[in-house]
């Protein structure tokens, strides 16, 4: 039986993590085994990536470790010698850090993630009584400034859908020919993303059998592997109904009868996350070139529109697949503004007189 998209995705990530672990000190294996049951493989990949840079910094830039020739030679005893100021200096160095010949530039968010990874490791070994002190816990998190939340307004959504449906919109004949070959797919793709708010990974993972046009419903695999039934509008149904026969005709012409993926590349294989991101960026540039719009921004657009229709933050959280409603409020600032504005209208200081 063929592996599903998510099985292949998890296998690829497990192999990526295994390769990263070979570049870390041997004692860190205990840490990654210890957190395996409560973290996703993607989280552990992020930890391994961040810790690789941290150990590289220690042996190259901290004088007390100048005799450690390679990251693989760094021991738990060495880790016990790391001081608070070493970690703080590491965060400063991350402004522009030379790693394997590449300059890595970290924003406040990037620094915060790396510190979080370092903190997790120190906490683990300290709780297991393998470190004398948890010095990482004494390092303050970088202050994170709120970023402007970019989304499309109602008029821009209309223009996006209209432009996606146009047959000719680009500067060259090659671009327009390519667009004709992918037009039905791209219309369905954009309409589904902006009309349901699903994540790009969820969109890529959809199979043809996940779609039920009669019920305007589809099954999506969420983060962590949970499956949820979501619903879409008639407009999304129309776009999918046009695309599906085109998809079937392409596969038949290529002699392929066992491809389960809903959205296909021109090679008649499952479309990639990067390809979806490129489609979204290409189409949204025709709407507003000043806005850098990713699939996640379309998710923000849908989440905000859904709240303004329902006025129910819990419905929005459920549809978007947020486990914590605070995540919904955090990422969709306009929702919080609407909540505050609505609450203010409920307070009456003076009753109207007859």
* Per-residue CA distances from 247 to 186, 224, 244, 292 (Å): 12, 29, 5, 29
Nearest to 280 by CA among 172, 171, 150: 150
Contact 218, 232 (CB under 8 A): yes
Question: SS3 of 215, please?
Answer: coil
CA-CA distance, 87 to 343, in Å (whole number)? 44
The pLDDT of residue 310:
82
Spatial CB neighbours of 220, under 8 Å, sequence gap ≥ 6: 198, 202, 205, 206, 210, 227, 228, 230, 321
Using CA atoms in the order 278, 279, 280, 286, what is the torsion angle rounded to 10 degrees? Answer: 110
The pLDDT of residue 267:
92
CA-CA distance, 197 to 295, in Å (whole number)? 9
The pLDDT of residue 226:
83
Contact 271, 265 (CB under 8 A): yes
* Per-residue CA distances from 304 to 11, 95, 233, 307 (Å): 35, 34, 16, 5
Spatial CB neighbours of 143, under 8 Å, sequence gap ≥ 6: 108
pTM of structure: 0.76
Query: 220 - beta bridge partners?
Result: 228
Query: 229 - beta bridge partners?
Result: 219
CA-CA distance, 126 to 176, in Å (whole number)? 60
- For the chain, first and last CA: distance in Å? 76
Taking only the tens place, the pLDDT of each residue in 54-88 is: 999 999 999 999 999 999 999 999 999 999 999 99
pLDDT < 50 stretches in the chain: none
The pLDDT of residue 13:
93
Contact 334, 151 (CB under 8 A): yes
The pLDDT of residue 170:
57
Contact 170, 182 (CB under 8 A): no
Spatial CB neighbours of 260, under 8 Å, sequence gap ≥ 6: 2, 207, 208, 209
The pLDDT of residue 320:
84
């Amino acid at each position: 039986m063929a592996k599903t998209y998510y099985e292949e995705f998890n296998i690829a990530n497990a192999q990526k993590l295994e390769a990263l672990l070979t570049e870390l000190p041997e004692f860190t294996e205990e840490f990654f085994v210890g957190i395996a049951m409560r973290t996703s493989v993607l989280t552990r990949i992020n930890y391994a990536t961040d810790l690789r840079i941290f150990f590289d910094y220690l042996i190259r830039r901290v004088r007390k470790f100048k005799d450690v020739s390679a990251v693989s030679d760094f021991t738990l005893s060495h880790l016990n010698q790391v001081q608070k100021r070493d970690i703080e200096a590491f965060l400063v160095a991350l402004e522009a850090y030379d790693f394997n010949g590449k300059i890595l530039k970290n924003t406040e968010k990037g620094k915060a993630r790396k510190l979080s990874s370092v903190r997790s490791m120190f906490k683990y070994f300290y709780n297991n009584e393998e470190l004398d002190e948890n010095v990482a816990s004494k390092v303050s998190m970088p202050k994170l400034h709120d970023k402007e939340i970019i989304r499309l307004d109602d008029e821009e959504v209309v223009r996006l859908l209209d432009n996606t449906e146009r047959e000719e919109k680009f500067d060259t004949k090659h671009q327009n020919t390519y667009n004709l070959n992918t037009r039905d797919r791209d219309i369905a793709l954009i309409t589904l993303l902006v009309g349901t708010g699903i994540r790009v990974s969820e969109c890529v993972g959809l199979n043809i059998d996940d779609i039920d046009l009669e019920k305007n419903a589809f099954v999506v695999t969420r983060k962590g592997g949970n499956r949820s039934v979501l619903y879409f509008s008639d407009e999304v149904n129309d776009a999918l109904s046009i695309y599906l026969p085109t998809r079937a005709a392409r596969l038949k012409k290529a002699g392929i009868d066992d491809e389960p993926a809903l959205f296909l590349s021109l090679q008649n294989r499952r479309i990639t996350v990067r390809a979806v991101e490129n489609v979204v960026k290409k189409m949204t540039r025709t709407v507003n070139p000043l806005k850098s719009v990713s699939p996640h921004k379309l998710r923000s657009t849908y989440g905000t529109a859904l709240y303004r229709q329902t006025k129910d933050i819990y419905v929005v959280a459920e549809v978007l697949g947020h486990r914590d409603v605070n995540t919904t409020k955090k990422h969709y600032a306009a929702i919080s503004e609407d909540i505050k504005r609505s609450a203010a209208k409920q307070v009456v200081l003076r009753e109207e007189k007859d």
